[in-house]
Amino acid sequence: MSAEKLISLYQSLLDGNKKWVNDRLEENPEFFKELSKSQNPPVMWIGCSDSRVPANEITNTRPGEVFVHRNIANMVVHTDINMLSVLDYALTVLNVQHVIVCGHYNCGGINAALSRTQFGLIDNWLRNIKDVHRLHKAELDLIKDPELKANRLTELNVTEQVYNLSKTSAVQQAWDQDKPLMIHGWVYDVSNGLINDLHVSKSKGSTIEDIYKFDF
Ligand code: CO
């Protein structure tokens, strides 16, 4: 890529921002004035970093409506201080009512975890997905088609991440305090834009294995 092209790509983002601001103000002259006061999003989103899965756009929501955390393959890893901080703030300060883990089919992270290739540092992150595979090996081994196997691992991975959320003290504390909190698992289909609700939602009273339960 020439230096000129490199700069023009960069400049197009800033130009795009100006156009976006003009469009918003045309719709509603008070748009930024209203948003600048505070945020009160009812939803927290844990999604994949994949550029094809922007939380607001695919749910037809606007700035101010979704509190977002994204990482490779939408993981809920209990040692991840970044995810835990976003979750804690969402539950204790913003009082979100829904936390959604949204994976997507054709996820590079899932495909990499299914392979035996070394990718470097990221292998440590992907090992969390390999652990999900080990938990569900019996089911996954029955699926011979590689694409269908990856799709099913994507769904099982989201399901496990929803379960991981329910193991956190932050979520259990919110439920103990009778906050109206639900957690959900979705998979977005990059080939048609539709979200597949896996119907693995959890709320206060949902089954959690005893060993993960905290006393309050
Ligand atoms: Co992905």
Could you give the CA distance from residue 51 to residue 215 in angstroms, rounded to a whole number?
A: 40
CATH number of 40-203: 3.40.1050.10
CA of 202 to the centre of ligand 1 (A): 23
Residues with CB under 5 A from ligand 1 (ion): 48, 50, 107, 109
User: Given 48, 69, 102, 184, which residue is catalytic?
Assistant: 48
Number of other residues whose CB lies within 10 A of the CB of residue 153: 25
User: Given 69, 102, 104, 184, which residue is catalytic?
Assistant: 104
Could you give the CA distance from residue 45 to residue 120 in angstroms, rounded to a whole number?
A: 27
Could you give the CA distance from residue 13 to residue 33 in angstroms, rounded to a whole number?
A: 23
Could you give the CA distance from residue 62 to residue 15 in angstroms, rounded to a whole number?
A: 20
pLDDT value for 1: 77
pLDDT value for 99: 98
* 104 assigned to active site: yes
Q: Could you please report the per-residue DSSP string of 36-102?
A: HH----SEEEEEE--TT--HHHHTT--TTSEEEEEETT----TT-HHHHHHHHHHHHTS--SEEEEE
* 52 assigned to active site: yes
Contact 158, 74 (CB under 8 A): yes
pLDDT value for 15: 98
> Measured between alpha carbons, how far is residue 7 from residues 17, 33, 40, 64 in Å?
16, 32, 37, 31
The model's pLDDT over 182-208, given as tens digits with 9 standing for 90+, comes to 999 999 999 999 999 999 999 999 999
CA of 108 to the centre of ligand 1 (A): 5
CA of 214 to the centre of ligand 1 (A): 32
Contact 165, 76 (CB under 8 A): yes
CA of 206 to the centre of ligand 1 (A): 28
The residue type found at 164 is N
* 50 assigned to active site: yes
Could you give the CA distance from residue 36 to residue 38 in angstroms, rounded to a whole number?
A: 6
* 15 assigned to active site: no
CA of 52 to the centre of ligand 1 (A): 9
Percent above pLDDT 70 for the chain? 100
Could you give the CA distance from residue 127 to residue 112 in angstroms, rounded to a whole number?
A: 10
> Measured between alpha carbons, how far is residue 181 from residues 62, 85, 86, 197 in Å?
21, 17, 15, 17
| Domain spans in the chain, listed from the N-terminal domain onward | 1-37, 40-203
Number of other residues whose CB lies within 10 A of the CB of residue 199: 9
Residues in the chain, pLDDT under 70: none
CA of 23 to the centre of ligand 1 (A): 30
Number of other residues whose CB lies within 10 A of the CB of residue 160: 21
> Measured between alpha carbons, how far is residue 214 from residues 88, 97, 98 in Å?
16, 21, 21
User: Given 15, 52, 80, 116, which residue is catalytic?
Assistant: 52
pLDDT value for 32: 96
Contacts of 87 (CB under 8 A, 6+ apart): 44, 69, 99, 165, 168, 170, 171
CA of 106 to the centre of ligand 1 (A): 7
